[in-house]
Chains A and B, each alone.
Chain A
């Protein structure tokens, strides 16, 4: 009887995007298979959807069959694409948690840090999100690990 009351479905983050206001991608992390054209299209669509919204709007926007949870920091938009039934506020704060880690790691992070250290940003992402799921949420733990890696040659 137990098995009959379930709706089997695994939900994950579909992608994480960091874009600036002009639409330049500063990070694109994909957790689903997309081909390059699709990725480009998604990047453009997300930019179009998110940049027209103002501060009075919600931080959530329906996007195709999914939703984008986003937050703007100065000129950068941090966007996470999740399933429509996923927890909006949990992902909104996951973005903030991630941004605080970046800020600490890069010491007042700015857009240029993400450009010049793009390969390190991937490491930060993988510490905090993996396989489309939240991997680690403790800032202390993540930063400790990042500094340890930093000290390695």
Chain B
């Protein structure tokens, strides 16, 4: 075949390029370029009209200069002129210049579009292709507006040349991606789908990309493509290696088209039609069989092409996840690749097995390869292969092999590449927690983790071990002992000091009986690390010290000594100084009782999804964590509370989001969160309106409780946890995806401001949203939460009433009988009282009634009402604007199965609202 000689066609261009290449310095190059630019400029401005050839040459030179990295600010018009030339080479340079130097100059766009239009209607296939390629390369909105209607016609017209069809299909794809609203397939759909049957394989290759994209967006309209794709695939797979002539690549028939067909099928569930499905399963089996046949060529191109199809077939098998036989065969095939001499294949096999591990049908088959995978982790030269091995070990881990896998990962961590350490640490931490049979193993593992890779142990990991130790009293003594031993090491990581300080501060007493770890020994050990630590750790240690004073009175004088020293009490760091001063004072003036109350052991943390898992998901991006592990993931422990949200920095107005907890775990600093003043003081939570279709089924169930499931349907579960103090509240919303498919563009809007929630929820996963609430004044209507997301193609829209009710801001008030009736009488204006008599909806069980009234947030007063059957309550509603005292009396009548409820408040609207809310509860 004749070859192209260097720079043929444009001698001047070749000379110029040579000149540039011969420049010895950057300066020389710039000088040469400037000379050329001046030359071209003068030619373009000259009186003499340039011929097409010269114009082409100069435009091409400008393009070359631009590609060298220099700005070009002229020549666009000349390039546009070239478009209307009827010589291919001139047109081509014009289009190339336009494609590379896209210019949004509206004047030019009009001219360009005009030229494209002419070429599209020229019936000259070469020109049509040039124009289509230009549209596909630029893909601007203006082009979509001008041509989105025309191109489908070209694509399906009977007389269009094959090469033009190929370009038209992909050009349309580009326009669909940039301006989907302008590309309306409608009437063309069926004819486009039938391009899968086209005789020309190139047309099929191009069209299938368009069809795949369109069917992802409109699966129903395009679903006839499934059977067409299956029969096309079947014909290719069963053809002999030479049947397809031009489309056979190293003895493999149509490898790229096969891959694209298999990928299109992954947009759909398994075919429902038995015949189609049977044919497809046959294809997949044939592909798996071929992998076992001796290669037809020793060339790597042959095996790569063959394996490209094989891997795509395995992806489809995994996507269907319904053919156990195929899944296990796929797994065995990949198992062979794990030991292949080609690094590429080992890598891909590890990667593909990762997804197989999450299928119930192949999980066990994957597990049989554990030794090979561990070996890969130890011996592979390419870090990305080792990374895949680590991923696979993580994916295949279950209760049966967790100890082995965690041990291997830990030992690998000692020499692991820096780039993957942090992720490895998270994985070890998650596996250790998820599969801990005994928690002493868990504690050992995490402490080892800190010892081996302390720098990579993020806050989430060491918070988590503390959460778990706090929440499980069976492991506390062991944890104290282990951490004490770990601290003996001469150089131990600061994270170890943090864990040590926290755990000994809480549970040091559990090992204090042993003289080798007596209180003073413990204290001295901790304090020996103090000076090497950063400020947050020191702050934590100071808190541990004050806890020691409470746990071990005998250490009091030693610790006071330390607190009193200049290096503490005059520390230049305000935080440390303040702690030293306050703790010293606290230890000297507070009675033992007060001290014991203030420094009481931390209460268990609320149950929540592991924050480590959340972190790993964030790190790996959506999709990285499989559905399985989320479902299995334990939901105990919680984010450490403590001094996380201090005044001012957390929320403004009604809604904000939680800041991450600081290192102050002991919670001593946690005063009531101070919320900045709402900008729009007035009614609470701004304008609350009610609209049709609001779902408030769950709403009333939360009047007397703070936690539970607010909403649930077959797709979505919304859980709520909330806490209130004074006029402030915090609500955690948990959005759980009950399906195995991700929700995309997930948004929630509150009719007040809310921090955005993660826009994507993976199948089986849960995301959390925190809402900070401030009650500005009393209110009746609840805030509305609107949730929108896409599940598959369908937009889901849901509006819920958030269960924020006025009674959430009650402070209980204890009072004696006399006081109660005195206040009752004071609230005697008719509008201050609201009363309702209503039928009982539930059994009239005293204990249940009591629990509900307590859940209401008021104090339940005993021995106040002369009639012991009656209940009376008192409380003060805290709003920013005012406090509203409220009294309540509930008189059950068991015979009639009726109640009489009377509420008196200093504010009429409050009485009325409380009465309405409560009437629904009993």
- A interface residues, Cβ below 8 angstroms from B: 2-10, 12, 25, 28, 40, 53, 56-62, 65, 87-90, 92-94, 96-97, 104-108, 112-113, 115-120, 122-123, 126, 130-141, 143, 145, 147-150, 152-153
Contacts and interface: CB of A to CB of B under 8 A. Distances in A.
A147 B6 contact: no
Contacts of B259: 87, 90
Interface in B753-795: 790-794
A60 B205 CA distance: 24
A10 B177 CA distance: 8
A134 B207 CA distance: 10
A130 B167 contact: yes
Contact of A5 (B14, B170, B269, B744): B269
Given A6-B219, A131-B170, A89 B88 contact: no
A74 to B, nearest CB: 17
Contacts of B133: 126, 130
A135 B202 contact: yes
Given A90-B308, A105-B3, A136 B205 contact: yes
Nearest to B213: A10
Contacts of A148: 126
B219 A88 contact: no
Given A56-B343, A119-B60, A112 B6 contact: yes
Contacts of A56: 343, 381-382
B217 interface: yes
A70 to B, nearest CB: 12
Contacts of B205: 134-137
A131 B67 contact: no
A104 B6 contact: no
A21 B263 CA distance: 35
Contacts of B216: 6-10
Contact of A136 (B206, B245, B307, B348): B206
Contacts of B137: 126
A58 B96 contact: no
Contact of B343 (A58, A136, A150): A58
A133 to B, nearest CB: 4
Nearest to A3: B793
A145 B129 CA distance: 11
Contacts of A6: 216, 219, 267-268, 741, 792-793
Nearest to A115: B17
B146 to A, nearest CB: 17
List the 10 closest A-B pairs by CB distance, nearest first.
A107-B3, A89-B308, A4-B792, A152-B88, A131-B174, A138-B246, A133-B209, A3-B793, A90-B308, A130-B170
B468 to A, nearest CB: 33
A97 B308 CA distance: 14
6 contacts: A6-B741, A89-B311, A90-B259, A96-B304, A117-B7, A133-B209
B793 A133 contact: no
Nearest to B351: A88
A149 B88 contact: yes
B308 A62 contact: no
A150 B4 contact: yes
Nearest to A10: B213
Interface of B: 1-4, 6-7, 14, 17, 21, 60, 63-64, 67, 69, 87-89, 92-93, 96, 99, 126, 133, 136-137, 139, 163, 166-167, 170-171, 173-174, 177, 201-202, 205-206, 209, 212-213, 216-217, 219-220, 223, 245-247, 249, 254-257, 259-260, 263, 267-269, 301, 304-305, 307-308, 311-312, 343-344, 347-348, 381-382, 384-385, 621, 739, 741-742, 744, 790-794
Given A4-B741, A119-B63, A136-B166, A57 B343 contact: yes
B240 to A, nearest CB: 17
Nearest to B387: A62
B799 to A, nearest CB: 21
Given A6-B792, A116-B17, A131-B174, A153 B87 contact: yes
A49 to B, nearest CB: 11
Contacts of A112: 6
Contacts of A5: 269, 741, 792
Given A93-B256, A119-B96, A136-B166, 13 more contacts: A2-B268, A2-B269, A25-B67, A88-B308, A90-B308, A116-B6, A119-B63, A137-B247, A139-B246, A140-B246, A145-B163, A149-B92, A152-B126
Contact of B307 (A9, A89, A118): A89
Given A3-B220, A119-B60, A131-B170, A61 B384 contact: yes
A102 to B, nearest CB: 10
A118 B171 contact: no
Contacts of A135: 166-167, 170, 202, 205-206
A90 B255 contact: yes
Nearest to B18: A116
Contact of B2 (A115, A118, A137, A147): A147
Contacts of A152: 87-89, 126
Contacts of B213: 10
B346 to A, nearest CB: 8
B359 to A, nearest CB: 16
Most buried by A among B64, B220, B245, B304: B304
A21 to B, nearest CB: 17
A119 to B, nearest CB: 6
A59 B88 CA distance: 38
A4 B343 contact: no
Contacts of A137: 202, 205, 247, 249, 254-257
Given A93-B304, A135-B167, A117 B4 contact: yes
Most buried by B among A112, A117, A143: A117
A106 B3 contact: yes
A44 B255 CA distance: 32
Given A93-B304, A130-B133, A138-B247, A58 B792 contact: no
Contacts of A104: 1
Nearest to B268: A2
B256 A153 contact: no
Contacts of A25: 67
Given A10-B177, A133-B170, A93 B249 contact: yes
B96 A133 contact: no
A130 B99 CA distance: 13
A139 B67 CA distance: 28
Contacts of A139: 246
Given A57-B381, A93-B255, A145-B163, A133 B206 contact: yes
Given A97-B249, A116-B7, A149-B126, A89 B173 contact: no
Most buried by B among A40, A134, A147: A134
A122 B263 CA distance: 28
Contacts of A106: 3-4
Contact of B223 (A2, A53, A90, A96): A2
Contacts of A3: 219-220, 792-794
Given A134-B205, A135-B205, A58 B382 contact: yes
Contact of B1 (A134, A143, A149): A143
Contacts of B4: 105-107, 113, 117, 120, 150
Contacts of B3: 105-108
A132 B99 CA distance: 14
Contacts of B308: 87-90, 92-93
Contacts of A53: 382
Nearest to A103: B3
B246 A141 contact: yes
A14 to B, nearest CB: 12
Nearest to A97: B249
A48 B832 CA distance: 76
Given A93-B305, A145-B163, A60 B384 contact: yes
B794 A4 contact: yes
Contacts of B246: 138-141
Contacts of B381: 56-57
Contacts of B792: 3-8
A93 B562 CA distance: 70
